[in-house]
Amino acid sequence: MSSPDPLSLVALIVSLVALILTLLQVAQQFVATASDYRHCSQRTLGGWHKRSRRQFIWNELRFEVHFTVPIIRVSIPPSDSTGGEDIYTVPTTSTVTEKKSPSALESSTSGAQYILHTPEGNEIYTSSQTPWFLDLKGTRIEAKCTWLSVLNDTAIANLQIGIDELTLSYDFMPDGIKKPLAQMDRKSFLTLMSLFQVSWQEGWGGEKAESGGGKKSTPTGAGPYCEVTSRYLANFGPVISYQPSNFLPTRRFYIASEKARSAMFSRFDLGFHVVFIHTAEEAYRSALALADESAASTVRDYYDANNGWLPGLAEVIGCFAEPEMPKAIEHGLDSFISIFSARSIDCTLHDPPLAQLLVGEEIKNSTSNSKTFAEWTMDYTSSLKDEVRFPKLQAALKFACRYYGTETHRREPIPWSESRRSLDVIKLLDEKLSVLCQFLAPGQSAFSVHREFAQLQIRFLSTLFDDTTALAQPSRGFWVDFIGAVVAEKYVEICSILQERFPESKEAARRGYVINRLMRGVLWHVHNGNHPSNGGDDERLLECSLSSLWLSDSSTLWID
């Protein structure tokens, strides 16, 4: 057998090399059609990368990249229908009524509960179970989708996080987007960011009158735990970027109910009326709907001049609003702060003289009405002596008297244990209220009684500063020294008017109703009034920087 021709062998080798290079070039061109697949890798999507895939389209001779992202929704865990949990207790257990998968957590827990919606049914997890959709293993800081951080940071909030899987194609991603985008409705996103104490420097929505065309303004905000920025994409909309800070939160956030979520945005559903206090104009309209033009105008004037003071209207909120506002709980410690609440600056329900009157103590510049009012409180307190929770009522009121009687109450936070006692007493007072209403206005709805009382509170207490100043001037004293006397006088008069409005009522019921609500208001502020930990003296830091109108906005937001 003759040996191969060297020239033929060289030609064969050259041909094979050319063939391999050609095949590699063709392969590279095919692979290049799926170059976006690298943006759907584990470095970017964490556990979600297992849902990414490439599909070859034969009639186009190219790959199409598909990826899966979450649609994230925030809801409030419902109260336990068995009576175990309600708005008067810290939510600590699983309360989901949906069908649970075998992987659902059955034991008590705190923090977020994740409900993954699948075609086979709902699967329920907690963050402690490290579900795949929270997996950050293998991600790179510079490449990771920021919505992964959003999902993981929800673990500190006692919320239900609903997750739907959405599969999209990279073919239809807008220009300028390099990461798969997740979706949230605006209400859910703003709820989370408010719990994380984000203050917004830019507005949400609205057209900017800028040269070169109107672009929608994009939000920018920051808080102790994160920073939020966004950019606007033409023909698409704002895309949010979420960057957690290096400071990991140690507190547990929770929202007791939808009404408490509304209160984060300065919207208070009192049952008989909805009060808005985000701006002076909103406070004016809310007061006008309950009282009259004079009182409403006074409330508005004080609001602008005194950093959100709502004389009269603030008392109504304390007497009737949801007892639980969104909280931040220091895990394992006896401390907490209210993230957002109705508290503005000092109002009558904060003042030591009222707390003193409610425990029967003597006040400065006492009058006959002051002594009459104190006697009413003793009578009403005596009527509750047979209650199991009566000792807690006495202890809570005495704590309020001591706390507001000190000069440090603006700076020193209220212990969590004292706050819980106040909430338990609020529950007692609210339970007794329905009985009082039956005796105060037989045959009428309780809401009609509450509305009447709220109207009188706004009318009579909106002039508190003027009335106390008038008493202080002859003695050259300070107006605050006469608060107790004026408040006692006002509520004695309110009680007389209630007799005119409800002529069939019993005197003990009228007095009991007034004292019941004032006790409730004082304890409401004890329970909800803690200042932010990074506080300063600006108590408006307790209020969400966004209008309540945003709470009803369910439009889609994209997060990169």
The more confident residue out of 551 and 180 is 180
Asked if 262 contacts 548 with a C-beta cutoff of 8 angstroms, the reply is yes
Residues forming beta bridges with residue 338, ordered by sequence position:
327
Point out the least confidently predicted range of 21-30, 171-180, 318-327. Answer: 21-30
SS3 content of the chain, % helix, strand, coil (to 5): 45, 15, 40
Beta carbons of 286 and 298 less than 8 angstroms apart: no
| 243-292 tens-digit pLDDT | 998 777 778 888 888 898 898 888 999 999 999 988 899 999 999 999 99
Give the side-chain half-sphere CA count within 13 A for 543.
Answer: 21
Residue 165 has pLDDT above 90, yes or no: yes
pTM of the model: 0.83
* Beta-carbon contacts of residue 156 (< 8 Å; ≥ 6 apart): 111, 112, 249, 251, 252, 253
Where do the domains of the chain lie? 69-251, 318-542
- Best CA proximity match to 429, nearest among 531, 526, 346: 526
pLDDT greater than 50 at residue 96? no
Q: What pLDDT score was predicted for residue 104?
A: 37
Contact 559, 147 (CB under 8 A): yes
Average model confidence (pLDDT) for the chain?
A: 81
Residue/partner pairs of 376-380 with CB below 8 Å, 24 or more apart: 376/511, 376/514, 376/515, 377/515, 377/519, 379/508, 379/511, 379/512, 380/511, 380/512, 380/515, 380/516
- Residue 84: the pLDDT is 44
Q: pLDDT tens digits for 385-428?
A: 888 888 989 899 988 888 877 655 556 778 888 888 899 899 99
Sign of the CA dihedral running 479, 480, 481, 482: positive
Which has the closest alpha carbon to 184: 332, 314, 70, 29?
70
d(C-alpha 475, C-alpha 307), whole Å: 29
- Using the predicted structure, report yes or no on whether residue 136 has a pLDDT greater than 50: yes
Structure tokens at 100: 């649970």
pLDDT surpassing 60 at residue 219? yes
Please report the pLDDT score of residue 44 as a whole number.
Answer: 87
Mean pLDDT of all residues in 293-310: 89
- Which range is most confident: 26-40, 45-59, 426-440, 467-481? 426-440
Start-end of H helices in 214-279: 258-264
pLDDT at 101 over 80: no
Q: Is the pLDDT of residue 531 over 80?
A: no
**Paired tokens of 128:** 């402690």
Q: Residue 95: which pLDDT band, with cuts at 50, 70 and 90?
A: very low
How large is the angle between the packed helices 446-461 and 280-290, nearest 10 degrees?
A: 120
Of 57-66, 194-203, 279-288, 356-365, the poorest mean pLDDT is in 57-66
DSSP reduced 3-state for 39: helix
| Pairing label, strands 157-158, 221-222 | unpaired
Contact 71, 155 (CB under 8 A): no
User: Which position has the higher pLDDT, 63 or 119?
Assistant: 119
**pLDDT surpasses 70 at 77:** yes
